[in-house]
Amino acid sequence: MTITLSDWSMYQSNFIGDPNSAADKYNPNKWVVDLNFDAIAASGIAGIIIRTSIILTKDPCFDRYRAGLERVGLPWGVYHAFDPDRSAQAQLDLMRSVCGVTPPLGVFVDVERGNTTFAGLNGFLTAVDATYGRIAGIYSGNWYLAPHFTLSEQGQWLHRPAWFAGYPNLDVPAGWLHQAREYTLHQFTDGGALAGMPRRTLLDRLHPTLTLDHLLQGLPAPARPRGGGGPRGRRTPPPPPPPPPPPPTQGQALFGLHGRADGRMQPPDFQVVQSARIEAVKLMSTAAPEDVDRLRSIGEHMPIMVRCFMDFRNRTITPQQFADAMSGDLAPFVAKGITLFEVHNEPNLVEEGLGTPGQGGSWPNGAAFGEWFTATVALLNARFPEALWGWPGLSPGGTLPGTRADAGVFLQQAGRAPATADWIGVHAYWQNDAELDAALAEIGRTAGRFPGQKLYVTEYANVKQQPNEDPAMIAKQYIRFVTQLRRLPVAAAFAFVVSASFPGFAFEAWRDEQGQLNLLPGLVGARPPAPPLGRAPGPQPAGDRWWEAWPEGVQNPARRLASPPAPIQMLQRDGRPLSPPVFRQNAMDVFERQGDLLRVLPQAINGRLWWVRAPEVQPE
């Protein structure tokens, strides 16, 4: 039986204040808690985890949430959104003042902001333990834990309840990856429906080896790692598999589409989304917030991204000016539960801000844009702390004097700024199959450059712009492109563009300005279902588990693997990724097989052999 919980912040209630007012945002009088607690208690939900506070500010709905849950007898826990750049003691004092008792479901610390150190976070967790008299849990995800904490550091928290986010599939952090219980709670959607709640909510699934009593009584010690020896060397049996996630069943690289390039979506645009079986949509901030409702009526769990749009042509725009201008546009989207925001677009173009400040530009190079981006995100995050801010996709290609700075150089100049983002956007354009393969390889290099970061391809298209271009060929390219992205940490890829009034985009649009759909939506919509995660995309050899025909142990002679169409991440003998990560795209020889792990290196490098997972490659 699946045990489901929910977690709430103020965004589960109705905001009646001024969206441009920071004072209104955290004013309890500006939030109407219009929840039917009796209906919620009868819905079958097992419990609710409530946010006490974010950094140094109390959640304005906490007291009413707690009172309502206690009235109907629903168990509740709490979490605090921790910021390592602010006083840990002040944050602990705030938590204690907001919630002075030990909650039935325990206490969690939300860890996904700033550059947390192990010493700083561990000290805070220990202080929370002492304050509430039970072990505090961690809420986070691999996108944050991987770049901030080593494997050994993560391993020191295995005794803590682990609450990880992944919509809908979970990317288990390395420290927990080979434990029999790889998580305590899995937050699997931010678009769940619950009786008694007029708005979407977050839902969390308890690990199938646990019961609610484990949370009520305090979590027991972690289960033995997989393969660990029991009494007399017996192996501990693995836990039962987790229940299947809710739809959509695809995990990485959802098939997305860029919304209308200018203004709100129009009725034919939604028809395209339906016909093409689109799984994720990117909107401009110039779109109407009501477009979100229409999209969710098409796909209840559809991820939606919003790009922060502002005209940079011949202007110098500071981070403060940008944040002030965007706040009014973004607030209605945030109120509807949208969390994914791309901060600007193709900043290596002159028309998008590249140039000398005061002379029609806002940044002269990638380093200056990195500083601009970091300052802008800090301002936006202070207003919308629930949002996830993305590094914008660059215009791919080399230098075009007066038009574009080389994308690779610009990214290199930006240094660590992209790694500070919640996710990284990339763009990909091509005119033929060779350029498509080059674009895939470049995305693989970006993934290797920023290990642990989630990527979104926020724009891609065939840009050949020939009136007689074969739509079936283009659809085939788009399907191949998205399918092969599943080998990489890409959450979604958005084809450009559903429609646009600008004539220059007519060859890329999926329908004309008279509302007539072209052939692309139907051709893309007829694509086969995406393969399960971990299975190699493209044609499969006879039998899904072809490698089992090879004997275990050393292969003599070595077997040959075909060159994969996108970079493959190298693994250690135990299946963990190498650190720092290593990707290979050339053909490989298999020198040993252990289960579904294949050794592809004849001799150790730095004392380690390299392996790959058989489902991610193909035999020659």
> What residue type is 33 in one-letter code?
V
pLDDT at position 563 is 62
598 in Cβ contact with 575 (< 8 Å)? no
Backbone angles phi, psi at 142, to 5 degrees: -60, -30
222 CB-contact burial (10 Å; exposed 0-12 / middle 13-18 / buried 19+):
middle
> What residue type is 424 in one-letter code?
I
Name the percent of the chain in helix, strand, coil, to the closest 5.
30, 25, 45
pLDDT by residue (tens digit) across 243-263?
333 333 233 689 999 999 998
pLDDT at position 241 is 39
Alpha-carbon distance of 384 to 388, in angstroms, equals 9
451 in Cβ contact with 147 (< 8 Å)? yes
pLDDT at position 7 is 96
51 CB-contact burial (10 Å; exposed 0-12 / middle 13-18 / buried 19+):
buried
pLDDT at position 288 is 95
Candidate from 5-9, 128-132, 180-184, 435-439 with smallest mean pLDDT:
180-184
3-state SS assignment for residue 548: helix
Is the pLDDT confidence value at 185 over 60?
A: yes
pTM of the entire predicted model: 0.52
Percentage of the chain exceeding pLDDT 70: 89
Alpha-carbon distance of 369 to 348, in angstroms, equals 9
pLDDT at position 402 is 94
pLDDT by residue (tens digit) across 294-331?
999 998 888 999 999 999 999 999 999 999 999 999 99
542 band by pLDDT with thresholds 50, 70 and 90: very low
**Cis preceding linkage at 237, omega within 30:** no
Alpha-carbon distance of 565 to 401, in angstroms, equals 33
CA nearest to 450, candidates 171, 82, 148, 178? 148
pLDDT at position 252 is 66
Residue 359: half-sphere exposure toward Cβ, Cα within 13 Å:
5
pLDDT by residue (tens digit) across 216-227?
777 643 433 333
Alpha-carbon distance of 570 to 448, in angstroms, equals 11
> What residue type is 170 in one-letter code?
L
Candidate from 156-165, 182-191, 217-226 with smallest mean pLDDT:
217-226
pLDDT at position 86 is 86
CA distances for 254 relative to 122, 145, 227, 274, 481, angstroms: 36, 23, 34, 15, 11
147 band by pLDDT with thresholds 50, 70 and 90: confident
580 band by pLDDT with thresholds 50, 70 and 90: low
pLDDT by residue (tens digit) across 507-539?
899 999 999 999 999 999 998 876 554 443 443
1 band by pLDDT with thresholds 50, 70 and 90: low
pLDDT at position 10 is 94
Is the pLDDT confidence value at 142 over 60?
A: yes
Residue 43 DSSP label: T
